[in-house]
A and B are shown apart, each in its own frame.
Chain A
Amino acid sequence: MAKHTELVITVGGKAGQGVLSSGAFIQQIMSELGLYTFTWTEYPSLIKGGHNAVMVRVSTDSVMTPKETTNIVIALDQVSIEMHWHEMEEGGVILYDSSTIKTEYSHTPTKEQPFSMIGVPLTEISRGIDKSSFYTNTAALGAMHALLDIPTTVFETLLDKKYGRKSQTIVENNVTAVRKAFEYVQNEYDRPQTIPSFSLNRESLDQVIMNGSQAIAYGAVKAGVTFTAAYPMTPATPVFDNLVKLAPEYDIAAKQAEDEISAVCMTVGASYAGSRAMTMTSGGGFSLMVEALGFAGITETPLVVVEAMRGGPSTGLPTKTEQSDLRFIVHASQGEFPRVVLAPGDVEEAYYEAQRAFNLADKYQLPVMIVSDKYLATSQMSFTDFDLDRIKVDRGVLVRSASELGEEVYHRYQLTKDGVSPRALPGTPGLTYKSGSDEHNELGEICEDPDNRVAQMNKRMQKEITLLADLPKPQLYGSKNADVTLISWGSTKHACLEVIDLMKGQDISVNVLHFVYVYPLDEKQLIPILSRLKKAVIVENNYEAQFAGMLKEYVGFVADDHLLKYNGLPFYPAEIVTYLKKKFF
């Protein structure tokens, strides 16, 4: 096996300085060079002026998590140097714009500063081209190539791809900036040998690079979403934006609503009429959608809601990650009705599970919540094999015409063994029916009769039992009988998975049990799996150990410990390792 090499590059600057696009370029360049990448973005909720940072982890093997430390910081402003100072790895480099940043730091590593400072007059290089500072960040990437000792050809081709159709001058100017900065570094500095170098004779990877928001949107498109409505809220907006972009080509109606109540109600209305429909929001907007969940529940209208969590409560941490809405999502809305809550752990799962969400919603005629978070929503992950057509569309039992009915009248809420009543859409020739938020009889008419109430309640709740057979089991990764099992749900998946490798050769072995389907929890399915674990630690991005609580409540499983984090950042594998060593060694 080839040697594992990896490197972290962080680009920092003011919002508007092209930080995010630099990150995307680094990712594309590395991918062309046959390397895997993972990109994590940090941005404040300000549009301009705040500090933006993007961290690209580059590796010879698949990587899915950010690191606490970085090898190269590309600082487009002074703040970036200060912000990322403490993250620097020994032997790393801070590459900064010496035209705008004056530093008193030493160029070569010292005891207090165990890394190099390399100044490149990026802004000056850009100004020298056409008097603008437009090419500052491309110049920075040119300088980065010199540090990594890789030719700029791939980057130049990508620049041509991106701007070539717009203007050849822009391409040329960018290329000039890249080459000038590259040469500047080569002429002025010795390349620090402490920066890992990658062998360049790798084949370029046939990778899919995308973030969780794209993956959910693409999954929804694949599932045949035809209607979506939303009200903007970070970090859920990118799912909507992606669908809006694809709307003309895929014949999707995408409507920005006046608020989240309207968004969810439009979605329920569209779904009632027969469209595959989805809405998306974060915790605050989800709070407003709550009443409509029960409406979908009692009218048995399929509904898919994406809840992209951020730090709460209230406005909380708008641009930071957290998994603290789980209990809320599981219990939201008055009364009792069946629902499904699922939490994809990465881009691949997001794509597949978005499709399963639609199938479950249609088949069992209930609300399905896809739980995402800032981390999953905005992290760019790369995957090499994706089976685009794995999940088949299942729209459930539909009555297509009155003649299909075996009886005179259509019973929308017919009592059935599995709880699922054949569904007819309004507009079905020769057939009309009632549906409503009041308790109703089989015909859909208001009915407060106690026996009918019990029959309809039981029918609805039966669906939550019937559907258990359709829910995939939690997946066990790593050896079967490890000493410690990390239990992840949703986006803590890969931080835990990486720990398996990091703990290889240590005194204790670790495996991971990853949950995508977090509600309902099937006691019969889970007890045999959970009772076999030697020691279990639940890893969650929240304060209350919410999933641990749910396992206790619904399955009677009490984990040995939980590892919690609620500072707005995702888990780093290294900190899980530190925890394990302290706890179990």
Chain B
Amino acid sequence: MKHNASPLEKYHTQSTPNWCPGCGNFGIWVSLKNAIANLQIPHHNVVIVGDIGCSGKLAYWTEVNGFATLHGRSIPVAEGVKMANRDLTVIVVAGDGGTLSEGLQHFIHAARRNVNITVLMHNNQLYGLTKGQASSTSEKGYKSSTTPEGSYETPLNPSVLALVAQATFVAAGFAGNAKHLTQMIEKAITHEGFAYVDAYQPCVTYNYINTYAFYSERTYELEEEYDATNRVEAIQRAMEIDGGQKFPIGVLYQEQGQKTLEDNVLHSDKPLAKRDVSDISVAKLFGR
């Protein structure tokens, strides 16, 4: 997949992605850039907070602000960024390894505190950067250097996790369907609160099970009548993927009007980062 389709030129950095040719990350990258462009958010107000993994490197390759963090720690870093400056659009880009293994606690707590960030999880069902080891979402039987007999642990269902952790926005998309995924990301970014997007991402180098063909055959768009305001129904729908045959894509759940972390933790509208702190009086604290 070529990445330099012309309208997106302005999002390119001097260095270009070094993903394997055909990697699903390209489709997600294009969708993300499209979404930011469609929403017309000024570049300088966007921060992509990258995890460590093939996916997270996207933070280096997109012409908005990019902050590449630590493996598993992109979410708390992003929360800090957002609390310090709520005017910024903060998007986490992370793999399933970073999100659901190394940093699972952050994922769950970010969801329940409803921090207004988007978590875009590139779900390739393995650890790409470290050469294909099984991850929390690998299918049973997935063979890798560390699971030579095949993975025997039951995969986690990230959308269900997010829903149970009280996320106020949960959507799924597929790297091979950039048009749809772009919409999902746009909706996630504009959602006021914690937004999780599960992006199915074929890893052409290591994942011989969850290929483009696999997902092309099994993903289907949620029907028009689907009620995305019912958490229980959303959980049921999200659980369909556990059978390994049906993968609904679309907005599984959205709840509006909930207070965000920033609403709760900030005491004024002025971003903390923009406050003049040069002359604060503490005389009162010293009884003066």
Which residues of A does B touch, CB under 8 Å?
208, 218, 221-224, 226-227, 229, 246-248, 250-255, 257-259, 261-263, 265-277, 291-292, 295, 299, 386, 388, 392-393, 395, 425-438, 443-446
Contact = CB atoms under 8 A, between A and B. Distances in A.
B275 A226 contact: yes
Nearest to A279: B80
A427 B41 CA distance: 11
A269 B266 contact: no
Nearest to A446: B60
Nearest 5 interchain pairs by C-beta: A224-B277, A269-B80, A436-B68, A274-B273, A265-B76
Given A267-B80, A435-B66, A251 B268 contact: yes
B286 A386 contact: yes
Interface in B233-288: 261, 265-268, 270-275, 277-280, 282-283, 285-288
Interface in B61-98: 63-70, 73, 76-85, 87-88
B68 A266 contact: no
Contacts of B73: 261-262, 265, 291-292, 295
B81 A443 contact: no
B84 A221 contact: no
Contact of B88 (A208, A273, A291): A273
Contact of A257 (B47, B76, B279): B76
B49 interface: yes
B44 A428 contact: yes
30 contacts: A208-B286, A218-B285, A224-B277, A226-B275, A227-B272, A257-B109, A262-B73, A262-B109, A265-B76, A266-B83, A268-B80, A269-B81, A270-B80, A272-B67, A272-B81, A273-B84, A273-B88, A273-B273, A277-B80, A292-B73, A388-B282, A426-B47, A426-B81, A427-B88, A432-B43, A435-B67, A437-B52, A437-B69, A445-B14, A446-B57
A171 B78 CA distance: 50
Contact of A274 (B261, B267, B274, B285): B274
Nearest to B274: A274
Contacts of B216: none
Nearest to B283: A388
B81 A393 contact: no
A226 B266 CA distance: 10
B83 A258 contact: no
Nearest to A225: B277
A257 B105 CA distance: 10
A253 B265 contact: yes
Contacts of A268: 77, 80
Contact of A295 (B69, B279, B280, B288): B69
A254 B46 CA distance: 24
Chain B: interface secondary structure?
mixed
B59 interface: yes
B280 A222 contact: yes
A265 B63 contact: no
A431 B44 contact: yes
Given A265-B69, A268-B77, A436-B66, A258 B105 contact: yes
Contacts of A253: 83-84, 265-267, 272
B65 A262 contact: no
B50 A436 contact: yes
A435 B280 contact: no
Contact of A275 (B13, B65, B79, B272): B272
Contact of A270 (B59, B68, B83): B83
A223 B84 CA distance: 16
Given A272-B81, A291-B70, A388-B286, A224 B76 contact: no
Nearest to A291: B70
A269 B77 contact: yes
Contact of B44 (A226, A227, A392, A429): A429
Nearest to B270: A251
A299 B283 CA distance: 36
A437 B68 contact: yes
B275 A251 contact: yes
A66 B45 CA distance: 54
B180 interface: no
B105 A251 contact: no
B179 interface: no
Nearest to B102: A261
Given A270-B81, A291-B73, A427-B45, 18 more contacts: A227-B84, A248-B267, A255-B265, A261-B73, A261-B76, A262-B76, A262-B105, A265-B69, A266-B83, A269-B67, A273-B85, A273-B273, A388-B282, A388-B286, A393-B278, A429-B44, A431-B44, A436-B60
B15 interface: yes
A426 B85 contact: yes
Contacts of B52: 437
B5 to A, nearest CB: 20
B13 A272 contact: no
Nearest to A425: B273
B106 interface: yes
A443 B68 contact: no
Contacts of B285: 218, 221, 246
Contacts of A429: 42, 44
Contacts of B267: 247-248, 251-253
A271 B69 CA distance: 13
A432 B44 contact: yes
Given A269-B77, A273-B85, A259 B105 contact: yes
Contacts of B283: 388
Contacts of B105: 258-259, 262
A435 B50 CA distance: 10
Nearest to B67: A435
Contacts of A295: 69-70, 73
A276 B286 contact: no
Contacts of A246: 285
A223 B60 CA distance: 33
A271 B272 CA distance: 10
Contacts of B42: 429
Contact of A432 (B63, B83, B270, B279): B63
A99 B94 CA distance: 65
A393 B270 CA distance: 20
Given A274-B85, A291-B70, A427 B44 contact: yes
A422 B234 CA distance: 48
